[in-house]
Amino acid sequence: MLAILQNPKILVPIGLVLLLTGILAGVVFGLTSSDSTTERYIALDSGGAIIAGDQGNVWAQAGTGKQTLETLLPITVTEAKTNGWIEQTACIPNNGKYLTQKDSQYLLIFNIQDELIGIYLISNSEKQSPWIKAESLSFGSQNVIDYPHWNLVVNLKNPSNACVLDQ
């Protein structure tokens, strides 16, 4: 048996058969697997439980019978603009570009690839840390928020590369 395994005339064909089998399995798996990608789901939610109901999912505050508020966030600039968001700044290094919507309590932050990378939460009432007080939100001559407010930035991706094309 050892002599057979040491014979190159036998080992080479066996190796080629195993290699071709591996390649064929990879091709078959690649062709039969689903091309769908996982949908990105980013939402702001006021809390509560998701309860399956006859009409699909019912959003309910646990124990109170009140419905919860869920706001799906756009994940691209195109989707945001379609939903009424307005681009307020060009891409600001180490920050991103800010989009606003009338009467919204938050701003959306996108990178140069137009992907949602952060949320700038706004409050007019005093908040505890990690919220911070700001007199305004300005970048040079670009004034995004022109009044004192409390804010909390939620970064979904590292903003240090927000304006770098090749990420």
Please determine, for residue 145, whether its predicted confidence score (pLDDT) is greater than 50. yes
Residue (of 113, 114, 121, 112) closest to 155 by Cα position: 121
> How many domains would you assign to the chain?
2
If asked whether residues 86 and 62 sit together in one domain, one would say: no
Rounded CA separation 90/142 (Å): 9
Q: Tell me what the mean pLDDT of segment 56-65 comes to.
A: 53
Range of the domain at 152: 76-161
Could you tell me if 53 and 95 lie in one domain?
no
SS3 20: helix
Q: Does a structural domain hold residue 95?
A: yes
- Percentage of the chain beyond pLDDT 70 is 77
User: Band of the pLDDT at 56, cuts 50, 70, 90?
Assistant: very low
80 and 68 inside one domain: no
- Both 65 and 88 in one domain: the answer is no
